């Protein structure tokens, strides 16, 4: 159950608390309240449906950053076997806001051939200490450079690349500038665009600006239903363009940053549905949907010759959102 509740999730939380209470009641054997629990669960699902039917862009932005939302490592845990994480950019440090490694996609049945993948993604932290270590998912140049190193290894071993995007943006720090943040992002885009194995990107939470596109130059780009993808955060946009942070909701709407918006604008290739109430309410279902999309996309791409994969990707990106 989600411990943290967004404002618009509160009615759900209240029902969930009641359900929990009744369950303990049940356990203690004082009385059988199965019927009531069932009723409340039906009611809860109805309430969730009602709320989620009419989410606005700002609410979706809040969901995309929900503190209980599954992160890259949660998905890796659920969808891979024998995952081995790699570390470091071989030049300066290991940026822990980016995780990357090789593994097999978990098989649904034993008859299937094992599918190797490289998964690289932004990683946010859950506890305060973890958040600090992960720098809130905001990468320094070394994060993008570690990624580039792994992209090239994947190419060498003919392993498809999956990137999971979840960052507020690249870190705006002194050291980041000193060590070439701009170059690191540009080079990450360049490397992905030119790599000769399939590249599939999924925005799983926040797709924040340059930090997101650094991992987003893929053959196929998907978004989880309640993720966002934007050139600037709604808050940033409100404060810079509207000169008023109170207008964040308006800015979120104007930016067209939801999965639906971006599919309509032909920026992404598909939306991965989330479980009722969002991925944080059932990370296993969310991961299953993610996995299915990844497998399907790999199957679509994996028989293409390496040069063709690269050339088609370049062509796609030269023409994205073309004006003429």
User: Which CB sits closer to another protein, 256 or 304?
Assistant: 256
User: Other C-beta atoms within 10 Å of 83: how many?
Assistant: 17
Is position 179 an interface residue for another protein (rule: CB under 8 A)? yes
Residues 89 and 120: their CA atoms lie apart, in Å, by: 13
User: Which CB sits closer to another protein, 62 or 209?
Assistant: 209
DSSP output for 195-220: -SS-EEEEEEEEEEHHHHHTTT--SE
| Contact stretch for another protein (CB under 8 A) within 75-83, 149-157, 175-183, 279-287 | 175-183
Q: How far is CA 47 from CA 13, 21, 31, 68, 276, in A?
A: 10, 19, 27, 20, 11
DSSP assignment letter at 269: S
Token pair in block for residue 64: 């995309």
Identify residues 197-236 at the interface with another protein (CB under 8 A): 209-210, 212-213, 216-217, 229-232
Is position 137 an interface residue for another protein (rule: CB under 8 A)? no
Which residue from 7, 24, 109, 172 is in contact with another protein, where contact means CB under 8 A?
172
Is position 93 an interface residue for another protein (rule: CB under 8 A)? no
Q: How near is the Cβ of 69 to another protein at its closest, in Å?
A: 21
Q: How near is the Cβ of 215 to another protein at its closest, in Å?
A: 11
CA 159 to chain centre: 21
Burial of 255 (0-12, 13-18, 19+ CB in 10 A): buried
Residues 65 and 124: their CA atoms lie apart, in Å, by: 10
| Contact stretch for another protein (CB under 8 A) within 53-61, 94-102, 156-164, 188-196 | 188-196
Q: What is the CA radius of gyration of the chain?
A: 21
Is position 140 an interface residue for another protein (rule: CB under 8 A)? no
Is position 106 an interface residue for another protein (rule: CB under 8 A)? no
Residues 233 and 152: their CA atoms lie apart, in Å, by: 31
Letters for 250-289 (x = contact with another protein by CB under 8 A, - = none) are -x--xxxx----x--x-x----------------------
Rule CB under 8 A: which residues touch another protein?
170-174, 176-183, 185-187, 189-190, 193-194, 209-210, 212-213, 216-217, 229-232, 237, 240-243, 251, 254-257, 262, 265, 267, 313-314, 317-318, 320-324
């Amino acid at each position: 159950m989600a411990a943290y509740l967004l404002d618009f999730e509160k009615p759900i939380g209240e029902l969930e608390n009641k359900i929990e209470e009744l369950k303990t009641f049940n356990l203690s054997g004082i009385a059988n309240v199965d019927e009531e629990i069932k009723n409340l669960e039906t009611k809860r699902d109805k309430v969730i449906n009602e709320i989620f039917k009419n989410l606005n862009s700002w609410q979706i932005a809040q969901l995309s950053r929900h503190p209980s939302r599954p992160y890259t490592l949660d998905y890796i845990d659920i969808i891979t076997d024998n995952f081995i994480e790699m570390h470091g950019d071989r030049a300066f440090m290991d940026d822990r806001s980016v995780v990357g490694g090789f593994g097999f996609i978990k098989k649904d049945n034993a008859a299937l051939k094992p599918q190797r993948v490289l998964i690289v993604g932004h990683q946010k932290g859950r506890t305060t200490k973890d958040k600090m270590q992960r720098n809130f998912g905001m990468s320094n140049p070394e994060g993008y450079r570690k990624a580039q190193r792994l992209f090239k290894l994947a190419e060498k071993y003919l392993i498809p690349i999956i990137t999971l995007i979840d960052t507020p943006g690249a870190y705006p720090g002194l050291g980041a500038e000193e060590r070439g943040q701009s170059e690191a992002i540009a080079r990450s885009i360049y490397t992905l665009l030119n790599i000769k194995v399939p590249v599939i990107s999924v925005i799983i939470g926040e797709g924040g600006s340059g930090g997101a596109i650094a991992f987003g130059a893929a053959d196929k780009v998907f978004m989880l239903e309640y993720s966002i993808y934007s050139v600037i955060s709604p808050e940033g946009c409100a404060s810079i363009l509207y000169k008023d942070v109170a207008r964040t909701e308006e800015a979120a709407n104007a930016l067209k940053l939801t999965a639906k918006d971006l599919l309509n604008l032909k920026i992404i290739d598909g939306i991965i549905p989330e479980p009722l109430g969002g991925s944080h309410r059932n990370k296993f279902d969310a991961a299953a949907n993610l996995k299915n999309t990844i497998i399907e996309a790999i199957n679509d791409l994996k028989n293409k010759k390496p040069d063709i994969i690269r050339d088609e990707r370049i062509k796609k990106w030269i023409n994205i959102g073309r004006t003429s």
